[in-house]
Amino acid sequence: MFRVCLFKPLKRTYRQYTPEALLNAYKEVTEKGISVRKAARLFGVPEVTLRMRVTGAVDTDTVKSGPSPLFSTEQEQRLIDHVEVLTRVGFVYTRIELCNLATEYAVSLGLRQEENPLSLQWLRSFISRWPNWAVKKPRTLSMARTKATSDESVKAYYEELGKVLEKHGLQDKPKNIYYVDEKGISDNHCPSRTVADNDKRPASDTGASDTAYTVTVLGAGNATGTAIPAYFVFPGARMRKDLLDGSTAGVSGTVSKNGCSNSRIFRQYLETHFLKHAQRRDSTEPLLLLYDGYRCHLSVGIIEWAKQQNIILFVLPAHTSHILQPRDTGCVEAFQTKYDDLREKFMKEKSVSMISKHATCELACKAYNHGLLPANLRSSFKNCGVYPFDPATIKKLSFASD
């Protein structure tokens, strides 16, 4: 009988060279001009591995086998810096939100299609390349600690704002200090208060719509009291001119699936609308743009584009826009009150129970011009301590009640 002996193949040692040896060999070839073969022998690295990096077929930062990372080391560092800056002012990202942020960044760089978002597998690979990062469960803060955190964030906000104004010489240039924010308006009507018998609750003569929709209005203005014309985001698949019927001069708009803004629309607004109406001589003159931490405002691509345009984006601390955002402190209430009055009057005159999308723009433009009056804008910037710059304003602010 024959006996068959099975031998296990010898296990080969994987990668007998260090990343430093590969980098040194690469420098010898590119800087000193020695041959790839000689450098490979000198530093003990595979000739094919070195040649792939010298020819540019593989990124020099790649030290692992398999497909190269989607982002370069420099691009990943920008993503990390972006998240760290927002974390310091109170905005944190979940795993899904970080994947969405990275997807938006990749789309802006042309590295990914919007229909093919990054997954949690990419996140695990990303974290493995940055050992200082990890997925952690956030702590639950008590009301007292939340109040203290808000106070500290606002103090840091004013300190940093003062440095920015001084660095770019904007202390006496109110026309270069802007805010930008968005406001959603719905066709669901909230009727005004009525006078009636105590024992009866009268029904409104203007009903509510069963098919509600939302239109988003993006607005901006500077500390001199000059408002940027409104920019509308209508729900729909195709932008039609009749959606802007009755609009005032300079008003523009676009559409999205649900009528809400997103990173693509926000950048489109800045590029095609905001810069067109902003007051400055040329691109060498800096603009300071205050904005809140809403997700669609926090794209890495938007921030890099703003740097190229000499626009300083200054994010407000988390949960403070109702106090620190100039528009929220003096303009939003006036806009909403005026729009509600105009809408109720329109519905009574036309004997309708809802406002169509084609009538929304005309009413919202009237309310926008009323809410963003020059006096309202100047007062808002002053009340927030932005212009004139007044750090003592923090003493007048109030957060969560004890």
In the chain, where the domains are located: 19-55, 73-129, 148-187+212-398
Give pTM, 2 decimals.
0.71
For 19-55, the fitting CATH number among 1.10.3470, 1.10.10, 3.10.150, 1.20.1070 is 1.10.10
The pLDDT value recorded for residue 144 is 45
The pLDDT value recorded for residue 274 is 94
Q: Say how far apart CA 215 and CA 363 lie, in whole Å.
A: 12
Helices 95-109, 300-308: inter-axial angle, 10-degree rounding: 40
Q: Say how far apart CA 33 and CA 27 lie, in whole Å.
A: 9
**Helix%, strand%, coil% for the chain, nearest 5:** 45, 10, 40
Q: Say how far apart CA 338 and CA 357 lie, in whole Å.
A: 18
Q: Say how far apart CA 114 and CA 203 lie, in whole Å.
A: 47
Q: Say how far apart CA 111 and CA 300 lie, in whole Å.
A: 14
148-187+212-398 under CATH 3.30.420.10, yes or no: yes
Helix (H) or strand (E) holding 218: strand 214-222
Q: Say how far apart CA 193 and CA 191 lie, in whole Å.
A: 7
CB count within 10 Å of CB 109 equals: 15
User: 319, 306, 400, 302: which is closest to 91 by C-alpha?
Assistant: 319
DSSP code at position 295: G
The answer for residues whose C-beta is within 8 angstroms of residue 347's C-beta and 6 or more apart is 189, 206, 353, 354, 355
CB-based contact 230:364 (threshold 8 Å): yes
Helix (H, G, I), strand (E, B) or coil at 277: helix
The pLDDT value recorded for residue 399 is 46
10-residue mean pLDDT profile of the chain (402 residues): values are 57 67 89 91 90 82 71 87 77 84 88 89 88 71 49 78 90 91 75 56 53 84 93 92 91 92 88 91 88 68 87 77 58 86 87 80 92 90 86 59 42
User: 190, 176, 231, 183: which is closest to 331 by C-alpha?
Assistant: 183
Q: Say how far apart CA 358 and CA 240 lie, in whole Å.
A: 10
**Measured between alpha carbons, how far is residue 322 from residues 49, 154, 336 in Å?**
56, 12, 15
CB-based contact 187:209 (threshold 8 Å): yes
139's tokens: 């702590």
Say how many Å lie between the first and final Cα of the chain, rounded.
Answer: 91
- Radius of gyration for the alpha carbons in the chain, expressed in angstroms and rounded: 28
CB count within 10 Å of CB 216 equals: 23
The pLDDT value recorded for residue 89 is 66
Q: Say how far apart CA 311 and CA 359 lie, in whole Å.
A: 34
CB-based contact 134:127 (threshold 8 Å): yes
What are the beta bridge partners of residue 181? 219
Return phi, psi of residue 300, to 5°. Answer: -65, -40
The pLDDT value recorded for residue 248 is 92
265's tokens: 């629309």
